[in-house]
Structure 1
Amino acid sequence: MDGICNQLLNVKGMVVEDACIVDSPLRPVPVLEVRVRPRRGMLRCSRCGRRRHGYDRGGGVRRWRHQDFGCWRVELVASMPRVDCPECGVVVASVPWAEPGSRFTRDFEAECAWLMGVASQETVGGFLHIAWRTAGDVARRVAERVKASMPSPFDGLTAIGVDETSHRKGHTYITVVVDHERHRVVRARGELNHWVSWASHSRIPEIVELSKKIRRRRPDILRTIRLGCSNARLEASDDRIKVTIRMAYGFHHVDNLIALIMLRCGGLDIRLPQPAI
């Protein structure tokens, strides 16, 4: 039973102690309440993330909203022990199913962030049954987590600069890429110069005037070719950001707005939860 519940809840390092449906007048809808605890020997500090010895069971009982099971809302309930951390002091232990300080499981937050990147405010709120400003808090946490896990675009260059012994695989690859970019710009410059020279000797006044304009803007044209950017792409990004800002009406902090822009426009790799094997 414990193994099946673990697979359904998609959480490693957790023991399911009990599950029951709670239907009380204090709740708007019935809730599937699953009582859980971390496995023994898995206690970690919620601040530094290192394994620590247990201090006591005085952290109290906490609840985390999990992904729904069909039409049933699901909550994980656990008694939170505290750990004695030499660096952070006596703090509540972390749990394997949620980020420290969050009221939602990681799977729920991933689902929420994915929906916020592709769906409207009404869809997110109606499907997940959460307030829009709460979804903004979730977006901020997920965006920070994903950005922290993404490699820096300079990691490869740094590794090559430090590791002289493995020199020549990564260095050769980067040299090939740079040479390709230079060849493309040199070729574009030659063809552009050839056309401008031809157009400037044209007998058509409009073509001659166009060649003068292109000659004045030649550095900008070559820079666009080198960087692969254009006004059309920038205008499209600007329009999408404006739509996202209108969507974010109701957020209580500007960081949540920035996180939503990152989710919808920043190219972050936000994925739906996958089965934990």
Structure 2
Amino acid sequence: MTTRIALVTGATQGLGTALVAGLGQRMKPADTVYLTGRDAARVSAAVAALPETTAEVRGAVLDVSDPASVTRLAAELEHRHGGVDVVFGNAVMRVGPDDDPRAIVEEYTEVNNFGTTRVLRAFAPLLRDGGRLIVVASSLGTLTFLAPVLHRHFDGLSSLDAVDTATAGWRDQVRDGSARAGAWPGFVNIPSKIAQVAAVRALARQRRSSDTERGILVAAVCPGMMNTPTSALWWDVSAAPSPEQAAVPLLSLALDPIKPDHYGELIRDGAVLPWHPAS
């Protein structure tokens, strides 16, 4: 019997936990879903609190801000299973309205951006035929939300190294305060999400031909606004979907037949969100 292996980063709460539960309920008894997070106690507690699943759910410590942690878990899964079939890059550092971008941007990018590219580098080579590698981003992650003069920083990048360099340049300007005097948006989530989508697009440019032949999907996905405590700091989310509801279209992207036009794109509710602003 062919078994499938799934992994969700940042899975000890919210959407990450909902993705693990959904995968565990939709996958088969011989399959395994890894619930990961950087704190071992929280990982264990999250696994214990899950509803009943068909597939086995295992906890694993993974700190995407630590390169050694990412490469170590990737090596363990390759040794144990020979590869992976579904990876959700969902780890995120959340910020509130009162946070000073200059004070938090280094840790923020280390998790949200360099953590994303670490996961892409480590787990893309492990994808088996038919695999899915999905980065949870946002509809803010398109060039529509960036001043045209800044598009060159993230548009057309052909490698993850180039994305990291562009991200570091923006981070440094936020940290030293010069971003405020330029065209960069004050809300750090916007350039960060754009950089995440740019990373997916860069990886897809390198892998498209072989991935198409092997039935592999590499994509970014927007779960939409959710009713979570962090979102409530910024907006009225009382009528927004729960993480469990928001997870449904993401699970479809991971488990249902692939739509070729989704490859390398940012997807929301099954539709491609254009990278470039409408002309």
Tell which has more relative contact order, 1 or 2 (C-alpha 8 A, sep 6+): 2
TM-score, scaled to structure 1: 0.21
Instruction: Decide which structure has the larger Cα Rg and report it.
Output: 1
